Amino acid sequence: MCLAIPGKVIEIFGESGLKMGKIDYSGTVNTACLEYVPEAKVGEYVIVHAGFAISIIDEEEAKKTLELWDEMAEKAAGKGLDIFGMSLGENRDKEK
Amino acid sequence: MKYIDEFRDPVLAGKIFSEIKSVTTGNWVIMEVCGGQTHALIKNGIDQLLPDKIELVHGPGCPVCVTPLELIDKALQIASIPDVIFTSFGDMLRVPGSKKDLFIIKSEGGDVRIVYSPLDAVRLARENLDKKVVFFGVGLETTAPLTAMAVHQARIEGLKNFYLLASHVLVPPAIMALLGSPNNRVQAYLAAGHVCTVMGWEQYIPISEKYKVPIVVTGFEPVDLLEGILMVVRQLESGRHEVENQYARVVKREGNRPAQELINKVFMISDRKWRGIGTIPRSGLVLRPEYAAYDAESAFGINDLSIEEPTECISGLVLQGLKKPYECKAFGLKCTPQTPLGATMVSAEGACAAYYAYGRYNDGAAK
Ligand code: SF4
């Protein structure tokens, strides 16, 4: 129910007095209301829940999360730590 | 796609699994509040891959699940009225009331329509001035601003034929009710990322302090969930209890201010009945008196209904993390997603439905 997914703002327009946008979800384009992210710009990624963008994704923060783990990986390299990851990977493949 | 694929990377997930394994020494019970997270955890098998010392229990943040049966029956009554166009999100259509569901009402001739956005319901009202358009708004804080915008927009446009049947519940009062219970087993919480996207995470600080529980705001992808679990385990192992934010790329400390402002303008807080749990003080949202004209319950004069829940259903205990779905005698037998008896089986995000869909039939399978 609270499922919200990232998408890229590709166009901004007005409709019935509301700020709206066209959002691209890897190929599927749909409309979302941008009233709750008034500062959103074309090219930015937003999180959309039931036709409303509720947050602009902070690229810096996303990078920080991922880089932190890259550093850890370098430290852990050579320890052969990926066994659990492999089994999760198999799960994922089955789903596809 | 960007911001999804990186957070589903199995190699990265594997690293976090290893890290969780290496930091875990105690036995910990962790609750994820949000049904969307319950579903993602079970679907990705995260519950089974975690060290045995970590037990995940599944909280009440499935708004479809906790919508009282009486309210579903009210929805069915309103949807059966001839000049009504009844709209809701798709997942409400197959939720059974005491006798029927919205699909049956539709097959009997009721005008029931699935909408993607609450604003679609406003558009229907604008285009069908001779009909009464009702939106059945069900959700947590994530959905409340969307419903609020629909009502607000209907008012701005002067639409007299738009109504809201609202079932909005609030997460922090539910967490407090669970933590305050003498039976509580939960030692740490993953807070629901998208609820916090709207509300921010400041309101969890007093809860974390009062009950001495770590609370980590967590996203929905496998890497997010694993990192959230790692962050609460680190806190538990070191005896800390703080609010931390794993989902910082989306959630700001103060949340989404414009969304909060409109929620406060349109709604006010009230006591609320949660299916399977009972009434939790100040845990729901109802329309403010200024917006009473949009209230479907009073507009259609539906009287309070009172309905008995099946006695064999233990969903209340499941929602509090006291029992697992497979401990229920009806699980998978009398009670399935096609014939749900209780709250946690009615929606794909309910714990019983997730356990059923992904084959967690007994204790052995769950670990
Ligand atoms: S399996 Fe069905 S009857 Fe049993 S607790 Fe879950 S919802 Fe209730």
Is there a domain that residue B147 lies in?
Answer: yes
Rounded to a whole number of angstroms, the distance from the CA of B192 to the nearest CA of chain A is 9
pLDDT at residue A3, rounded to an integer: 77
Query: Which CATH code fits A5-87?
Result: 2.30.30.140
Judge contact between B362 and B355, C-beta under 8 A: no
Which regions of chain B are under pLDDT 50?
365-367
pLDDT at residue A89, rounded to an integer: 37
Q: Compute the distance between CA of residue B68 and CA of residue B200 in angstroms, rounded to an integer.
A: 27
Instruction: List beta partners, residue B353.
Output: none
- Cα–Cα nearest to B294, from B115, B132, B97, B86: B132
pLDDT at residue B327, rounded to an integer: 95
Do B83 and B227 share a domain, yes or no? Answer: no
Q: Compute the distance between CA of residue B68 and CA of residue B84 in angstroms, rounded to an integer.
A: 22
pLDDT at residue B4, rounded to an integer: 86
Count the domains in chain B: 2
Q: Compute the distance between CA of residue A86 and CA of residue B13 in angstroms, rounded to an integer.
A: 9
pLDDT at residue B99, rounded to an integer: 86
Rounded to a whole number of angstroms, the distance from the CA of A51 to the nearest CA of chain B is 5
Q: Compute the distance between CA of residue B175 and CA of residue B61 in angstroms, rounded to an integer.
A: 10
Atom 7 of ligand 1 has which residue's CA nearest to it? B342
ipTM value for the complex: 0.91
Q: Compute the distance between CA of residue B367 and CA of residue B47 in angstroms, rounded to an integer.
A: 7
pLDDT at residue A70, rounded to an integer: 74
Is there a domain that residue B311 lies in?
Answer: no
Q: Which sequence spans correspond to the domains of chain A?
A: 5-87
Q: Compute the distance between CA of residue A6 and CA of residue A8 in angstroms, rounded to an integer.
A: 7
A84 pLDDT band (50/70/90 cuts)?
very low
Using N-to-C axis directions, what is the helix angle for B35-43 and B222-238, rounded to 10°?
100
- Cα–Cα nearest to B251, from A60, A44, A54: A54
CB-CB under 8 Å, A32 with B259: no
Which residue from B69, B313, B362 has its CB within 8 A of the most atoms of ligand 1, so it is best to mutate? B313
Q: Compute the distance between CA of residue B273 and CA of residue B277 in angstroms, rounded to an integer.
A: 8
pLDDT at residue B342, rounded to an integer: 87
The length of chain A in residues reads: 96
pLDDT at residue A90, rounded to an integer: 38
pLDDT at residue A68, rounded to an integer: 78
Is there a domain that residue B359 lies in?
Answer: no
pLDDT at residue B98, rounded to an integer: 86
Do B180 and B221 share a domain, yes or no? Answer: yes
Do B265 and B221 share a domain, yes or no? Answer: no
pLDDT at residue A72, rounded to an integer: 64
Nearest to A61 among B17, B64, B249 (CB): B249
Does residue A76 register a pLDDT over 60? Answer: no
Is there a domain that residue B353 lies in?
Answer: no
* Residue of A66 and B186 predicted with greater confidence: B186
Question: By CA distance, what is A20's nearest residue in B?
Answer: B119
pTM of the complete model: 0.91
Nearest to B248 among A4, A18, A58 (CB): A58
The CATH number linked to B268 is 3.40.50.11740
Instruction: Tell me the average pLDDT of chain A.
Output: 79
